[in-house]
A and B are shown apart, each in its own frame.
Chain A
C-alpha cells in the first residue's frame, strides 16, 4: 500500500476519533454537527477592548416600533448590558 493510503487512513481515523470524542463531550453527534455548523462560524471575540467607547447601537423597544440608542441609557450610572436569547 502506498504511503498516501496510510496517510488517508490515519487522517480519517484521527477525524473519526475527534468527532467521537466531541460527541461524547457534547451529548451526541448531532450536537457536534450543530456546533460546527452554527456555533463556530458565529463565535467572534470581537475587537472591543476595555476603555473603548461603547458602540452606540440603535435598539428596538418591546413594542417592535419604538427605537432608541444605547447612549440614551448611558450617563447616570454604570450600565450592565446583557446580551442573550430565549433558547
Chain B
C-alpha cells in the first residue's frame, strides 16, 4: 500500500480481485492455513464478492477495488492470474506490463515507472513480496 499512498495524488489505482490462487479445494498453502485464510474457489458472484469484502475488511484496504466476473474476463484479457500489475496511461495504452506472479511480480518496477513519469527521485529498490494485492506496496 506504500505505492498507493505515495502516488494516489498523481495516479489512479484499481485493484481487481480475480480467481483465488490457493483455495482450500485446489492448491492450498500452509501459510494461508496458518493465517486462517481458508476459502474454497468461489462458484458464484456472491461468493467471490464476499471474499473480496473479507479481504478489504481484514486489511482495511484503502485502494479502489473491483471484482472480476465469474467468467474471469479480466483475468483472461490481462493474463493476470495469480497476480500481476499493469499501468495504463491517459490514452488507454499499456505503458507498464509486469511479470506474472509470484516469481515475476515486482511492484518496485511499477514504482520505478511512476518515479520516472513524475520525475521523482528514485527510492532504493526493495525485493518484491509475492502474494496478494497488499504487496503492491514496495
* A interface, CB within 8 angstroms of B: 27, 31, 33-35, 37-39, 42-64, 68, 70-71, 73-87
Asked whether, in the complex, the Cβ of B114 is within 8 Å of the Cβ of A38, the reply is: no
9 smallest A-B Cβ distances: which pairs?
A46-B79, A34-B27, A83-B80, A64-B49, A55-B77, A59-B66, A87-B22, A84-B133, A84-B83
Asked whether, in the complex, the Cβ of A73 is within 8 Å of the Cβ of B14, the reply is: yes
A78-B11, A82-B85, A87-B20 given; name 8 further pairs at CB < 8 Å: A50-B96, A62-B53, A71-B92, A77-B11, A77-B90, A82-B136, A84-B17, A87-B39
Return chain B residues, CB-CB under 8 Å to A86.
17, 20, 37, 39, 51-52, 54-55, 132
* B interface, CB within 8 angstroms of A: 3-4, 7, 10-23, 26-30, 32, 37, 39, 45-46, 49, 51-56, 63-69, 73-75, 77-90, 92-97, 100-101, 110, 114, 117, 131-133, 135-136
Q: A43-B100, A48-B79, A87-B32 are in contact. Are A78 and B114 (CB under 8 A)?
A: yes
Asked whether, in the complex, the Cβ of B21 is within 8 Å of the Cβ of A59, the reply is: no
A85 touches which one: B12, B46, B82 (CB < 8 A)?
Answer: B82
What's the nearest-Cβ distance from chain B to residue A24, in Å? 15
A51 touches which one: B19, B79, B93 (CB < 8 A)?
Answer: B93
Return chain B residues, CB-CB under 8 Å to A62.
49, 52-53, 56, 65-67
Return chain B residues, CB-CB under 8 Å to A46.
78-79
- Interface pairs (23), CB distance under 8 Å: A45-B79, A48-B94, A54-B92, A59-B16, A59-B68, A61-B66, A70-B74, A70-B88, A76-B90, A77-B10, A77-B12, A78-B10, A78-B114, A82-B13, A82-B63, A82-B133, A83-B78, A84-B16, A85-B20, A86-B51, A87-B20, A87-B37, A87-B39
